Amino acid sequence: MSRPDWEVVIGLEIHAQLNTASKIFSGATTAFGAEANAQASAVDIALPGVLPVLNKGAVERAIRFGLAIDAEVARKSVFARKNYFYPDLPKGYQISQFELPVVVGGQVTIRVGEGDAAYDKTVTLTRAHLEEDAGKSLHEDFHGMSGIDLNRAGTPLLEIVSEPDMRSSAEAVAYARALHTLVRWIDICDGNMQEGSFRCDANVSVRRPGAELGTRREIKNLNSFRFLQQAIDYEIQWQIERIEDGGRVEQATVLFDPDSGETRMMRSKEDAHDYRYFPDPDLLPVVISEDWIERTRAALPELPGAMRARFEADWGLSAYDAITLTSSRDAATYFEAAVAAAGDTLAKPCANWIMGELAARLNKAERDITDSPVGPAQLAALVRRIADGTISNNAGKKVFDTLWSEAGADVDAIIEAQGLKQMNDSGALEAIVDDVLAANPKSVEEFRAGKEKALNALVGQVMKASRGKANPTQVNEVLRSKLGG
C-alpha cells in the first residue's frame, strides 16, 4: 500500500457514546436493545413545547476526557443547533457544539507497527464536543415504507476530532485503538463497537510529498478497526489511481461497503447541507468551574500513557509489553496485582504469562480478565515457583491448567499432588545422564563430530528418563561437561 511518491493525510472524527444512565437532554434511559421507541420520551420525540435540560454527567465525562488528553477544558462552552431535515431527527435540528466546544486541543501518543519497525507518534487533537445522537431509520418490514426508532435519539455523544496528523491506515488504526482504550480506561464509554458506541469517520486525502493538502473525502460510520483499515486503504488506492489517471478528487462523503471492500459516494460537496448553526436559545452556556475541574482531575485514575512509561522505567518492560498490558485498565490492574504478589524482579515473567498463556486461554474461552479463573495472586505464586527452580516452565503450564480448571486451587498443593517438582539433586541427575550416554552411543558420536542437534536428542532422553522433573538448563550443563564440551 505504501507508495513513496504519495503522501497520505488522514484525520479522524470519532463518536464515543457516553455511558450516562439517561440521555443528554432528557430523563429517558440510554440502555441498548429495547423495543423500538420504548425509550423515547416527550423530549426525545420532540413534542411541541418540550425543552432540553443538560445532563451534568455528560459534561463530567467530557471534562474527564479533556483532562486525560491534556487538553484545555473550556470554562464556557455553548450548545448550538445544527439544522437539517431527516425523519430520524425529530426536532429538525441536532443539538451539538459548534463555535465553542467543551474540549480544545490535547494529544494522544500512539505506538504504530510491530517489532523493530514499531515507532511512537503523537497525534494532536483539534477538539471534542458534546452532542446528541439521532434516531434510526428502519427500511425493512414496513411494506415499502420506512420506520423510525427514536430510542437512540438524544443519546450523549462526545465527538473527538483529530488534526490531519496520520500518514497511513496503520497510524489511523493505532490512534483509534488508543482512543478506544482511553475512553474505556477513564470510564466514559463502554467502547462497544457492534452496538455503535464507538464509531469512526475518516477524512482521507493524498498529495505529492511537500505539496499542498489534497482534496479530502470523508468515509462515514466505520464501526470496526478492520473496516477502518480496509476503507482507508481502499480510499487511498482509489484516490491515487484517480489522480494518476488524470482525474481529480472531488470533496465528498462516502460509505464503506464491507462486502465489496469498496467505498461509494453518499453525497458530493454540492449536496452538502447548510446547517445554519446558531446558539441554542433553550440552553444556557455550559460553565465549568475550576473546582469542578479539580475535583474531576483528582478522581481520574492513572492514565495508560503514564502507566506504560512506569512499566518500562520501573520494571524494564519493552514498549510492546507495556502497551499490551495497558491496552485495558483491567489488564493493567491484573498485571500490577500479580507483580505486587510476585515481586518487582518477576515483572517480566508475570507479563509473559499474562500476555501468553492467560491471554490465550481467556481469548479461547471468550472471558474477560476480570472474570479469569486464575487470579493474579495465583499467577504470581506460579511465576515464583518457576523462578526459584521448584518447577520447570513446562511443569508450570500443567500447574496453570489445573489452576484454570479448579477454582481457588493452591499452586504448591498442585505441584505436590502432581509430583511436578524439578530434580535438583545433581547426583541423581548425573546417574541418569550416565545411563543415557551409555545407551545412546550414536548420538554421542554425532555430537562429538560437531552435530549440535544431537545434544537435543540426548536432553530429550534425559528429560524422559527423569519423567520431566529434571531442570533442562541443568541437564544441558551436565551433558556438556560429560561430553567434554
Partner 1 sequence: MIEASLKDLAAALRAGTLSSVELTTLFLDRIDALNPSLNAFITVDRDGALTAARAADARLAAGTAGPLTGIPLAHKDVFCTEGVRTTCASRMLENFVSPYDAHVVSQLKAVGAVMLGKTNMDEFAMGSSNENTHFGPTKNPWNTGRVPGGSSGGSAVAVAARLAPIATGTDTGGSVRQPAALTGVTGIKPTYGVVSRYGMIAYASSLDQGGAFGRSAEDCALLLSAMAGFDPRDSTSVERETEDYTRDLGKPLAGLRIGLPKEFFAEGMDDDVRAATEAALDQYRQLGATTVEVSLPNAKLAIPAYYVIAPAEASSNLSRFDGVRYGHRAPEYGDLADMYSKSRAQGFGAEVKRRILVGTYVLSHGYYDAYYLQAQKLRRLIAEDFIAAFTQCDVIAGPTSPTVAWPIGEKSDDPVQMYLQDIYTIAVNLAGLPGLSLPCGTGANDLPVGLQLIGNYFDEARLLNVAHGFQQTTDWHRRMPAVG
Q: How far is the CB of 92 from partner 1 (least distance, A)?
A: 2
User: How far apart are CB 135 and partner 1 at their closest, in Å?
Assistant: 10
Nearer to partner 1, 54 or 319 (CB): 54
The DSSP code for 369 is G
Kindly state whether residue 269 participates in binding partner 1, applying the rule CB under 8 A.
no
Tell me the closest approach of the beta carbon of residue 91 to partner 1, in angstroms.
Answer: 5
83 or 109: CB nearest partner 1: 83
Q: Binding partner 1 by CB under 8 A: which of 81, 152, 217, 329?
A: 81
CA dist 290 → 61, 66, 72, 76, 171 (Å): 15, 14, 12, 11, 35
Angle at 188 between CA 184 and CA 191, to 5 degrees: 45
Classify residue 206 by burial, with Cβ atoms within 10 Å: 0-12, 13-18, 19+.
buried
Told to check if 83 binds partner 1 by CB under 8 A, we report yes
Burial class (CB in 10 A: 0-12, 13-18, 19+), 226: exposed
The answer to whether residue 38 forms part of the interface with partner 1 (CB under 8 A) is: no
Residue 433 exposure: Cα atoms within 13 Å on the Cβ side: 22
CA angle 126, 130, 131 (to 5 degrees): 120
At its nearest, how many Å lie between partner 1 and the CB of residue 39? 15
Binding string, residues 110-149; x marks residues near partner 1 by CB under 8 A: --------------------------------------x-
**45 binds partner 1 per the rule CB under 8 A:** yes
Q: CB under 8 A: which stretch of 43-51, 64-72, 170-178, 228-236 binds partner 1?
A: 43-51
C-alpha cell at 66: 479533556
d(CA 178, CA 230): 18
Choose the stretch contacting partner 1; rule: CB under 8 A; options: 42-50, 207-215, 416-424, 436-444: 42-50
Identity of the residue numbered 396? G
Q: Please, which residue, 49 or 450, has the CB nearer to partner 1?
A: 49
95 binds partner 1 (CB under 8 A): no
Give the one residue of 76, 226, 276, 367 binding partner 1; rule: CB under 8 A: 276
Q: Which of 12, 24, 46, 130 binds partner 1 (CB under 8 A)?
A: 46
Task: Compute the distance between CA of residue 368 and CA of residue 365 in angstroms, rounded to an integer.
Answer: 9
Instruction: Tell me which stretch binds partner 1 (CB under 8 A): 119-127, 167-175, 200-208, 278-286.
Output: 278-286
Q: At what angle do helices 169-185 and 225-244 cross, to 10 degrees?
A: 150
We find the least distance from the C-beta atom of residue 318 to partner 1, in angstroms, to be: 51
Q: Which is nearer to partner 1, 85 or 114 (CB)?
A: 85
Q: Can residue 287 be called a binding residue for partner 1 (CB under 8 A)?
A: no
Q: Is 97 left (phi over 0), alpha (psi -120 to 50) or beta?
A: beta
Question: Which of 7, 29, 36, 54 is in the footprint of partner 1 by CB under 8 A?
Answer: 54
Confirm or reject binding of residue 247 to partner 1 (CB under 8 A): no
Within 8 A by CB and 6+ apart from 319, the residues are 111, 118, 120, 308, 312
Query: How buried is 67 (Cβ within 10 angstroms: 0-12 exposed, 13-18 middle, 19+ buried)?
Result: buried
Closer residue to partner 1 in complex, CB, 29/83: 83
Residues making contact with partner 1 (CB under 8 A): 42, 45-54, 81, 83, 85, 87, 90-93, 148, 274, 276-278, 281-284
